């Protein structure tokens, strides 16, 4: 078993002893901003690699250098909101990758371009599977979208209420009490 030399590690990596206040002060310096950019790049790279592996797009050999992406795209991937209450097509518009054509997004998701168009324009609400596929392509959890959360809750409730009639009566009584 390898013995860890903490003193050597602290000398080699002084940031291990930095407090939150030290980090915040450091990240406001030019060197800190450069470090933050490298951290963002690594997070994006690992996120994109994971997505490629999930889609079965792993490649052998050296990986090509990724193109730079706008900071808004970095923040969208790294710092997402937990959820939205906007209708799907509005939330999708907010999350739509800058400059991406519908055909490219269709290719990314495996959905057809006309299907993407009707969903994006609000003419049709996507199915649960389509929401999950689109969320995956946008690197966000499907529960970000109110439609996914609503359907999941309703399906869970329906399953529970049909398999356990006693609990359905209890739940209905509690709902009536709450509504008063």
At 134, which CATH number?
A: 1.10.260.40
17, part of any domain:
no
In a domain, 58, yes or no: no
Range of the domain at 90: 83-179
Q: Count of domains in the chain?
A: 1
pLDDT string in tens for the chain (180-residue length): 455 566 666 666 666 666 767 766 776 777 777 776 777 677 777 777 777 777 777 666 666 666 666 666 666 665 555 788 899 999 999 999 888 999 999 999 999 999 999 999 999 999 999 999 999 999 888 989 999 988 988 887 777 777 777 767 777 777 677 766
* DSSP per position, 70-139: -HHHHHHHHS--S---S-HHHHHHHHPPTT--HHHHHHHHTS-HHHHHHHHTTSSPPPHHHHHHHHHHTT
Determine, yes or no, domain membership for 161: yes
12 falls within a domain: no
Is 91 a domain residue?
yes
Q: Per the domain annotation, does 14 fall within a domain?
A: no
């Amino acid at each position: 078993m390898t013995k860890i030399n903490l003193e050597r590690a602290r000398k080699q990596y002084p940031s291990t002893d930095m407090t939150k206040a030290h980090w915040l002060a450091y990240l406001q310096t030019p060197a800190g901003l450069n470090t933050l950019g490298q951290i963002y790049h690594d997070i994006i790279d690992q996120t994109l690699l994971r997505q490629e592996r999930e889609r079965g797009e792993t490649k052998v050999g050296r990986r090509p250098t990724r193109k730079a992406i706008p900071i808004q795209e970095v923040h969208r991937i790294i710092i997402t909101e937990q959820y939205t209450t906007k209708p799907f097509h509005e939330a999708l518009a907010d999350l739509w990758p800058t400059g991406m054509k519908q055909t490219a997004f269709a290719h990314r998701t495996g959905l057809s371009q006309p299907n993407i168009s009707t969903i994006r324009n609000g003419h049709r609400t996507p199915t649960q599977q389509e929401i999950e596929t689109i969320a995956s392509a946008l690197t966000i959890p499907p529960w970000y979208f109110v439609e996914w959360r609503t359907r999941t809750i309703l399906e869970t409730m329906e399953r529970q209420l049909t398999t356990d009639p006693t609990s359905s009566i209890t739940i209905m009584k509690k709902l009536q009490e709450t509504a008063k």
